[in-house]
Structure 1
Amino acid sequence: MKIFRTEQFNAAHRLFNPKWDNETNDRIFGKCNNPNFHGHNYKLEVELDGPVNPETGYVLDMKKLSEIVKQEIIERFDHRNLNLDCPEFANLIPSAENIAMVSWNILREKLPADLKLKVRLWETPRNGVEYNGD
């Protein structure tokens, strides 16, 4: 059985590789390399896959899942500049791919190990990524 929880957060970021010169960063990242940053309204989908507990009828109580996602991800990233405010991205480009991996790693530690975890992060309504730990 698979269950899903969707949350949203707003954050600014800049895609910039400090090992490259400005021309290379502009060529690779384009507008996403704006030195004054830019923002997105992210949609985060958290999927858990596992057996239904016969005593509760749940894979995991959705209220508990919601609380974990809000506490561990939303409070950490919402209305933040990911490059400047979040130590998780001090040495990691905050691309959608890396935000999804960081979110997965944070959540993996807080959720039951017997449940498979997958996160989907939508940066725009048309651009998203999915990560399951592989």
Structure 2
Amino acid sequence: MFATGSQINYFHFSRSKSLSDEENLKLFGKCNNPNGHGHNYKVVVTVRGEINPTTGMVINLTELKEHMQEAIMEPLDHKNLDKDVTYFADVVSTTENVAVFIWENLQKRLPAGALYKVKVYETDQNIVVYKGEESTPEK
């Protein structure tokens, strides 16, 4: 397995359209600020597979970084998720859903089965780990 990371800076407003203003405030607290708020997230992507005997790598690091640029940085970095990213028009822009978005975008670009885990750090204590649909909580 191999892991590499990047830093995303973005802006959003945590709100579920299916909840009332009062319910949103109770659920999301200060993240429900109608004027929005920003984050500096760290994302770590882990890939797996057979080590290529010629290159000695699971995946070419340069290619992986290009895929991460296309799948993570271009659509998310320095964006207002709720206004600039179509995916979040009807999906609440929580860290969990950001991890799913990253997984789905990366999985399209990588060899089948290569993507193992997406880890999104909101803070040192608030971390989301996503391993696809069969994901289970990591301890």
Per the normalisation by structure 2, the TM-score is 0.92
Instruction: Quote the residue 1:124 is aligned against.
Output: 123
- Which letter maps to 2:86? P
Instruction: Quote the residue 2:49 is aligned against.
Output: 50
Instruction: Quote the residue 1:15 is aligned against.
Output: 14
Measured after TM superposition, the shift of residue 96 of structure 1 is 0.4
Say whether 1:86 aligns with 2:82.
no
CA RMSD of aligned residues (A): 0.9
Say whether 1:60 aligns with 2:59.
yes
Q: 1:41-85 CA distances to partner (integer Å, 9 max, x unpaired)?
A: 010100001110112111001111011101221011001000011
SS of the residue corresponding to residue 120 of structure 1 reads: strand
Instruction: Quote the residue 1:3 is aligned against.
Output: 2
**Contact 1:13/1:37, CA 8 A, preserved across alignment:** yes
**Contact 1:108/1:117, CA 8 A, preserved across alignment:** no
SS of the residue corresponding to residue 69 of structure 2 reads: helix
Say which structure is richer in strand: 1
Measured after TM superposition, the shift of residue 34 of structure 1 is 0.4
Instruction: Quote the residue 2:105 is aligned against.
Output: 106
- Which letter maps to 2:9? N
Runs of 4+ in 1 over 6 A off after TM superposition: none
State the distance in 1 between where 2:127 and 2:113 align: 26
Per the normalisation by structure 1, the TM-score is 0.95
SS of the residue corresponding to residue 124 of structure 1 reads: coil
Identity %: 40
Instruction: Quote the residue 2:137 is aligned against.
Output: none
**Contact 1:45/1:119, CA 8 A, preserved across alignment:** yes
State the distance in 1 between where 2:95 and 2:9 align: 13
Greater Cα offset, 113-122 or 101-110 = 113-122
